Amino acid sequence: MRRTILLTLTCVALASATSSAQTNTSPGIVTISYTLFHPHWIASNQLAVWIEDANGTFIKAIFATNFMARRKGYIKRPQSCPEWVKASGLASLPDASIDAISGATQKPGPIQLLWYCTDANGKVVPPGVYTYKVEGNISWEKRVIWEGKIEVGGMPSTSVAVPTYIPDSARTAGTLLTDVDAKFQPSH
């Protein structure tokens, strides 16, 4: 029997229109899904999920493991998701921002995370193509980054991410993540 863990880590944000009582709501929801495995060795199982815009600018962190984000594991083990640490500016984030996205190491199995199409400040993002990334440590410096692009707008869209192993030998070091994809569902 398959089970799905649904983590809702952000809130739907409402932004005020300039001079009227109208509000702009999220254009919809992006569901990022993957299957997680747990390698059974030290210096593994650290994970971060985030969104970038079409120019590669960091938009929002969706999830990061507690050890790495809250407990400053990225300092103890700089191999822990270094691309996310750099992109997110983790070292300078206030504790409240880190608390909002960090969580315990996820249990193995199917995982779903939701992005309500808002940036790190809760502002609704405009329609367009966004990149979702899932970075994980397989063992020490061996890691994988799954990357895909998803269109946010008036129509549903789907995307399948592709992995990059760093270094290339990480490809045979064990399985941390598989089946990474995203689905956008408009709000109207």
pLDDT for the residue 98: 81
Digit-coded pLDDT (tens) for 69-81: 876 778 888 888 9
Average pLDDT over residues 80-95: 88
Residue % of the chain over a pLDDT of 90 = 57
Higher pLDDT, 40 or 144: 144
Compute the average pLDDT of residues 162-169: 96
Identify the burial level of 12 via C-beta atoms within 10 angstroms of its C-beta, where 0-12 means exposed, 13-18 middle and 19 or more buried. middle
Give the residue, 117 or 66, on which the prediction is more confident. Answer: 117
**What is the per-residue pLDDT for 32?**
98
Give tens-digit pLDDT for 6-42: 433 333 332 222 322 334 677 899 999 999 998 777 7
When the pLDDT of each residue in the chain is averaged and rounded to a whole number, the result is: 84
Taking residues 76-100, report their average pLDDT.
86
pTM (predicted TM-score): 0.84
Residue corresponding to tokens 């409402």: 14
- What's the burial of 38, exposed, middle or buried (CB within 10 Å: 0-12/13-18/19+)? middle
Per-residue pLDDT, 20: 29
CA 90 to chain centre: 14
Q: Which long-range contacts (CB under 8 A, 24 or more apart) does 166-174 make?
A: 166/141, 166/142, 167/141, 167/142, 169/142, 170/138, 170/139, 170/142, 170/143, 170/144, 173/39, 173/138, 173/139, 173/142, 174/37, 174/39, 174/41, 174/44, 174/138, 174/139
pLDDT of 109 > 90? The answer is yes
Q: Of residues 31 and 85, which shows the higher confidence score?
A: 31
